Chain A
Amino acid sequence: MAETIPSGDNTLLRETVAVREIGRVERFLGPENYRIVMGLLKTPASIMGFILITFFILVAIFAPLIIPPVNPNDPYKIPRDGYKSEPQPMGTIWNTSPPPLPFWWKPIMGTDHWTHILGTSQGQYDVFYGIIWGTRTAFRTGLMVTIATFLIGIIIGSISAYYGGWVDNVIMRIVDVFLTLPFILAALILATILTPRIGKSLYPAIIALIAFGWMTYARIIRGDILSIKERDYIMAARVIGVKDSRILFRHIIPNAIFPTLVLASLAVGDVVLSFAALSFLGIGTEVGYADWGQVLSFARNWITSLDVYWYIIVWPGLALVLYVMGFNLVGDALRDVLDPRMRGKT
């Protein structure tokens, strides 16, 4: 739909005012958010990032086709080939209870028995299995932590900004207190406390990362709401007598949330870094759980012979780095797009 242009000789007007079609997507997102999305889709770096993220999403979805679990009821347990301590090199034949052969094995590998494609780590845990199924763990933990911290941040941030006064003051001081403890140390403590109480699983680390991860969102959303609260259309809504809660939920939050939402979706990568760090320190999951940090933590016992067993750190490390880099590439482009000086440019 073109904007209406006055009839008559309007060449000058046509030259000065850019007339352009407004598509459905733009209508739905609004001009500012539309600019953010288009900015991301046009930068080479963020396209690389999207490709990496898509690749990992596909790996996570098709994990059972890439390497079927030995025990379908417990797919996150990395299968072991015996109990020998030393890692075995890449290409070793899988002797004890190999997983069922997937459809792609015979045409590509030309044999009909499993080999440890990327070798085995300490205790004969298969590295390839750990990486493929670890992708699912990465997304599960990343999504759970991000969604939870985001929601908590939004609720606390909006309450703080909307009520202002002493409520705001108290909430912001609580945020300060939570930010005072170093993040990894605080998460480490809470995970340590929770582990004996809820058992070894993903949850102690997840809860710990949530408990000390919401503050940034609360601060950002608070700042955004405070600035939107002063805009004319909010004043207009007040004047015609719209209820407070309706103003907050229908007018302020939807307008304040989009940049934070994009930031949050990119935090899915960062969460995995902290989660892997915790499980590298031995907090959280049981030994042999398909999780990248867990697979990497085996290397701690083989430091003096890492030149021989390099594959126990290089492959899971590469998976972790590429995964996080996918999100960081998009995030870096986003920072440019969100930069206020870029507004109005496409």
Chain B
Amino acid sequence: MVTYITRRLLLVPVLLFGVTVLIFLMLQFLTPVERATLYVRDIPKNNNAISGIIKQYGLDQPLYVQYWRWLVGHTVGGERKGGILFGDFGYSRTASQPVADLIRLRFPNTLDLTIWAVAPVILVGIWLGVQAAVHQNSIIDQAARIFSIVGTSFPTFVFGLLMLMLFYVKLGWFPPGRISDWASIIVRSPDFHHYTSLLTFDALLNGRLDVFWDALRHMLMPILTLSYISWATFLRVTRSSMLETLRMEYVTTARAKGLSEHDVVFKHAQPNAMIPVVTLAGFSVIGLLGGVVITETVFNFPGIGQAAANAAAQLDVVTVLGFALFDGLILIVANLVVDVMYAVVDPRVRLS
């Protein structure tokens, strides 16, 4: 166990180095002037000033020098500029604020969405898979199979647009966006305390059930969309893992000693069948945390995915790369957590 975790921890710096190098190399496609927004806000118009900046920030230096500077920043007049290690990801031209501030502003929204989406995405998907496996080859199984194939074939944005057409335009139940205007006025008022900066939790802590319900109502369509597209995968993995476990001899033993079918399935088979599902669940939480670009964009939900898509549509590369870097860091840590969890759940992994 200790060896496994140590080996896994040693991989973290390697991945950190790799991801930063990959993003740095992608930055090299930009002209030195475009890269200057990593360090300065206003790019001057006249050529002399521009070449002055290129010189000053060493944007014409060899790659390894630039990489180092990109990591630790430049000290200009006693003041550090840039430096991703210090959390300075450059200046977003399109959002007119530092990329790090933009991330700080948007990430709580993505986190809020993730927290509310986790239960429906994972639990319902697993439940469907168990049902399909227990009733193998019955109508339930066939229906689950069709449901899953249709689910994997639906592009997120098409599904999202159809949801908007039905639930927003036709029925008027769930609006897109983050929060209604009236609620937004309350949230911005000085009486409303931002304890966690997660909107739904702040609303609860402030005792504003109306604001809470409004924020949740805006998230229902994204949650439903994310659920539908992930259920297909959960269903398939859970079903096949469950089927495999149900064929094992210890399950036959459990049946033979006269346990009820319910106990056999849910007490004996299911816990072991959940091992591969745990990994999948981990990865899907990671995916949600990384910002779901398409879903957030379709429903105009102001998370980090939508911010990245907006910046990309306006060809603001420095901003998008800032998001990629942030995502990369989150994902490396989250992957580590999932792998360790996996070793805890499955003794075969930590012994190999």
A residues touching B (Cβ–Cβ < 8 Å)?
A: 45, 173-174, 176-178, 180-182, 184-186, 188-197, 269, 273, 276-277, 280-283, 296, 299-300, 303-307, 310, 313-314, 317, 320-322, 324-325, 328-329, 332, 339, 341
Contact = CB atoms under 8 A, between A and B. Distances in A.
A329 B149 CA distance: 7
A277 B324 contact: no
A173 B14 contact: yes
Contacts of A341: 244
Contacts of B309: 188, 281
Contact of B312 (A189, A300, A306, A314): A189
Contact of B169 (A269, A300, A303, A321): A303
Interface in B13-27: 14-15, 18-19, 21-22, 26
B168 A280 contact: no
Contacts of B154: 321, 324
A317 B161 contact: yes
A310 B165 contact: yes
B317 A189 contact: yes
Contact of B291 (A185, A197, A280, A306): A185
A30 B169 CA distance: 56
Contacts of A177: 15, 18-19, 21-22
10 contacts: A180-B15, A184-B293, A185-B320, A185-B327, A189-B312, A189-B320, A190-B26, A193-B26, A193-B317, A282-B313
Contacts of B155: 273, 276-277, 280, 317, 320-321, 324
Interface in B273-309: 287, 290-291, 293-294, 297-298, 305, 308-309
A326 to B, nearest CB: 9
A185 B293 contact: yes
B327 A325 contact: no
B315 A321 contact: no
Contacts of A191: 312
B293 A180 contact: no
Contacts of A321: 150, 153-155, 158
Given A176-B15, A185-B308, A320-B158, A192 B149 contact: no
B317 A192 contact: yes
Contact of B287 (A174, A178, A182, A188): A182
A345 B203 CA distance: 59
B262 interface: no
A328 B315 contact: no
B29 interface: yes
Given A181-B19, A182-B331, A296 B14 contact: no
A181 B293 contact: no
Contacts of B21: 177
A267 B107 CA distance: 32
B222 interface: no
B272 interface: no
B161 A296 contact: yes
A189 B11 CA distance: 25
Contact of B158 (A181, A194, A317, A339): A317
Nearest to A173: B14
Contacts of A296: 157-158, 161
B100 interface: no
Interface residues of B, number: 53
A310 B153 CA distance: 20
Contacts of A280: 155, 157, 294
Task: List the 8 closest pairs (A to B, CB-CB), nearest first.
Answer: A177-B18, A325-B153, A317-B158, A306-B165, A324-B153, A282-B313, A192-B312, A182-B290
A190 B62 CA distance: 22
Contacts of B244: 341
Given A177-B15, A180-B328, A189-B324, A313 B165 contact: yes
Contacts of A300: 298
Nearest to A184: B293
B40 to A, nearest CB: 20
A237 B321 CA distance: 49
Contact of A306 (B18, B164, B287): B164
Interface in B322-350: 323-324, 327-328, 331-332, 335
Contacts of A178: 22
Given A193-B30, A296-B158, A304-B169, A174 B18 contact: yes
Contacts of A304: 169
B170 interface: yes
Interface string B6-46: 00000100110011011000100110000000000000000
A185 B169 contact: no
A195 B315 CA distance: 8
Contacts of A269: 153
Contacts of B149: 45, 325, 328-329, 332
Contacts of A188: 293, 308-309, 312, 320
A329 B328 CA distance: 33
B63 interface: no
**Which residue, B11, B15, B145, has most C-beta atoms of chain A within 10 A?**
B15
B328 A307 contact: no
